[in-house]
Amino acid sequence: EKQEQLNLLEKFISELNDFDKALILLYLDDKSYAEIAEITGLSVTNVGTKLGRIREKLKMKFSHINS
């Protein structure tokens, strides 16, 4: 089941736009918000906001699969 969830996560991430995909992959690569901000040119606050929205979007997709 864990592998199935990882496969779904990979699929959902691949469906994101390129910028959101880059943000979430940096986050999953254990980069800090400050590092992500430096890489992307966003403010740390904006990184946090965008990542929160992306995580929420991914959670919604998972909840639709499990319902």
Closest CA to 40 of 30, 27, 53: 27
pLDDT at 34 over 90: yes
Q: Which two tokens stand for residue 32?
A: 């800090």
How many angstroms from the chain centroid is the CA of residue 67?
22
pLDDT of residue 12: 94
Closest CA to 49 of 13, 22, 20: 20
Sign of CA dihedral 46, 47, 49, 54: positive
pLDDT of residue 41: 97
The residue among 2 and 32 whose pLDDT is bigger is: 32
